[in-house]
Amino acid sequence: MRVLLPCAANLPERAPALGASARANRADGSLAGNGRVVLVVDDEALVRRSTKNSLERRGFRVIEAADGPTALRLYEERKHEIVAVVLDMIMPGMRGGDVYLALREAQPDVRVLLVSGSGLDAEAKSILALGVSGFLAKPYADRELAAGLERVGVR
The string of pLDDT tens digits covering residues 128-139 is 999 998 999 999
Considering the entire predicted model, what is its pTM? 0.80
The string of pLDDT tens digits covering residues 86-107 is 999 999 999 999 999 999 999 9
Cis previous bond, 16, omega within 30: no
The per-residue pLDDT for 2 is 55
Q: Where are the domains of the chain?
A: 28-119+137-148
Question: Does the pLDDT value for residue 18 go beyond 50?
Answer: no
Question: Residue 119: left if φ>0, alpha if ψ -120 to 50, beta else—which one?
Answer: left
Helix (H) or strand (E) holding 79: none
CATH architecture label of 28-119+137-148: 3-Layer(aba) Sandwich (3.40)
